[in-house]
């Protein structure tokens, strides 16, 4: 799926989604499928094929101290597959001013959800 994105890049490039990030998120999505819509149709070989190049690329590694991923030193570190930067502001938006504390079911309608986040056919075709 990510053949057109080239090889892994060297170093950190802000505002750029790497092939490793794409493969990582696709693998994560596939891992969630067996327990929901696809029943027992496990696709673990596909997950392995997507994650092996990420692991062996040498671009990602675990930090020596797990607590560091929650500190400044852990931001955009070798342990980060994909990160979105956060900035505080005074315009009424921030960690307390946005979002909701209510639970929202994210499954499709036929599986006891509200039907949010359903992909369009154009996205599926890509």
Q: How far apart are CA 77 and CA 62, in angstroms?
A: 9
Query: What confidence category does residue 51 fall into, taking pLDDT thresholds of 50, 70 and 90?
Result: very high
Domain residue spans in the chain? Answer: 3-87
- pLDDT for residue 126: 77
- pLDDT for residue 10: 45
What single string gives the DSSP state of each residue in the chain? --GGG-SPPSS--TT---HHHHHHHHHHHHHHSTTTTTTT---HHHHHHHHHHHHHTSS----SSGGGGGSGGGTT-TT-S--------SSS-STTTSS-SS----S-GGGTS--TTPPPHHHHH-
Task: Quick: pLDDT tens for 53-76.
Answer: 999 988 888 889 999 888 888 888
- pLDDT for residue 5: 46
Angle between helices 19-32 and 44-56 (to 10 degrees): 150
Q: Is the pLDDT of residue 84 over 70?
A: yes
Task: Quick: pLDDT tens for 95-115.
Answer: 555 555 666 666 655 666 566
């Amino acid at each position: 799926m990510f053949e057109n994105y080239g090889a892994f890049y060297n170093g950190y490039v802000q505002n750029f989604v790497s092939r490793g990030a794409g493969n990582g998120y696709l693998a994560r999505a596939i891992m969630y499928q067996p327990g929901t819509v696809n029943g027992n149709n496990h696709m673990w070989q596909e997950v392995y094929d997507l994650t092996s190049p990420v692991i062996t690329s040498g671009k990602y590694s675990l930090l020596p101290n797990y607590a560091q991923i929650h500190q400044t030193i852990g931001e955009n570190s070798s342990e980060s597959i994909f990160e979105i930067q956060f900035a505080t502001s005074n315009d009424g938006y921030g960690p307390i001013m946005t979002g909701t504390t209510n639970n929202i079911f994210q499954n499709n309608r036929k599986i006891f959800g509200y039907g949010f986040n359903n992909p369009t056919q154009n996205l599926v075709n890509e």
